[in-house]
Chain A
């Protein structure tokens, strides 16, 4: 009834191929087949955003997308945000501003942040909070997340580049 299909998609710039059932969710393809475990499953009901990735440059919840819907498309995950061994300015901003504690929501928050800053390079606090409504954090109370995003916006505006992890 649901024969496996072979699909191909670009993941973090590389062509990847897999045989999936139609019902396979994108998050499970990424985690279980492609070993990209930076994308997390949290609520599984499309609310918490821990599964957030980019599909054709837009932030989406990968637990709410079928892998087959992403066939032939471009997917970016947290692993692809900066070259291996470096931190993207957004990642570094989260570190220096203590914008995470347990870190479980963080990859999703960062993917949503990247999407926001692409569209709004200089967002207000309110715009940041509005853009992050789809990312739920149990630890931080969000204040430090907002500070991290503001810092990140400034860094990107100044043309900061990924730096080696220190």
Chain B
């Protein structure tokens, strides 16, 4: 299998990239690691007339320490996120999540920016950046802007990025004291995609009960979401098995579960409830330690 023919561009700067995006409009697609775009093109589900390969834009690589958090370049690979000591220290949830994206070969090519911009319903990062309350940094013809993760994933394979915009970085705020995290995933054994993936960030108060929980869920529906109902139900709760299970019981209420060749809707619902319980319990345990 191979893609439909296209014209290949390899810009040397962000400005060149933006100019190409403006020029080509709908006919131009950005190529980073290519591990979401190329599979789609080989199946001819996507047939862009032009590919804009941003692989040479070194300014989009790098993990930068800042006051209050990290700024991670869009071209940072999953492998880098999974192994970089700074990411492990200051954005451990992202490192834990990146470690289980796809497989070794996919992690060597796939990028944070590409995964977020593509917004596959079974991608792992959306759950993680939602639970971390991250900000996505984009540049476009009108300059730079930041988009909160909660506003970024708008619909199936759709994000808040404007057509001429390029995702350039992600900002991850440091976690406050007494906070633990966990990414729980049930992966498809062949593709490595998330049948369901749950990212939980849990902060405990001095009594050991949950002061605040943030829960991002992917894979279960056609777009990742924050389980705000469960977060509210967990406030003030002691993180024991029964209490967390009870709080998680309604997690998929009002959310349409995906039903496909991999699993029926009821299975995804059940797995989601279980993974939410596990993720919250593990995150709470880590918050103590």
Q: Mark A residues whose CB is within 8 Å of B.
A: 1-3, 5, 21-25, 28, 44-47, 49, 52, 55, 58-61, 63-66, 68-69, 112, 115-116, 130-136
- Judge whether A68 and B8 touch: CB under 8 Å: yes
> How distant is the Cα of A24 from the Cα of B43 in the complex, in angstroms?
14
Which 5 pairs from chain A and chain B are nearest by CB? Answer: A134-B103, A22-B8, A2-B5, A133-B103, A58-B108
- Roughly how many angstroms separate A89 CA and B35 CA in the complex, as a whole number? 32
In whole angstroms, how far apart are the Cα atoms of A47 and B35 in the complex?
11
Number of cross-chain contacts by CB at 8 Å: 91
The docked-state distance in angstroms from the alpha carbon of A21 to that of B4 is: 11
B142 close to chain A: CB less than 8 A: no
Q: Among the listed A45, A47, A65, A131, which residue makes an inter-chain contact with B34, where contact means beta carbons less than 8 Å apart?
A: A65
A47 touches B104 (CB 8 A): no
Question: Considering only CB atoms, which chain B residue lies closest to A58 in the complex?
Answer: B108
A59 & B2 in contact (Cβ 8 Å cutoff): no
Shortest CB-to-CB span from B187 to chain A, Å, is: 9
Known: A23-B6, A45-B39, A58-B79. A68 touches B105 (CB 8 A): no
The answer, among A1, A60, A115, for a CB contact under 8 Å with B6, is A1
- A64 surroundings in chain B (CB, below 8 A): 34-35, 38-39, 109
Q: Give the shortest distance, in Å, between A4 (CB) and chain B (any CB).
A: 11
* Smallest beta-carbon distance B222→chain A, Å: 21
A28 to B, closest residue via Cβ:
B2
Contacts of A69 in B (CB 8 A): 31, 34, 53, 55
The residue in chain A whose Cβ has the minimal distance to the Cβ of B43 is A45
Q: Find the residue from A44, A46, A131 having the highest chain B CB count within 10 A.
A: A46
Q: How far is the CA of A46 from the CA of B55 in the complex (A)?
A: 19
B233 to chain A, nearest CB (A): 34
> Does B261 sit within 8 A of A, measured CB to CB?
no
A23 touches B4 (CB 8 A): yes
User: What is the CB-to-nearest-CB distance from B81 to chain A, in angstroms, rounded to a whole number?
Assistant: 14
Partner of A46, one of B6, B31, B35: B35
Closest B residue to A116 by CB, please name it.
B104
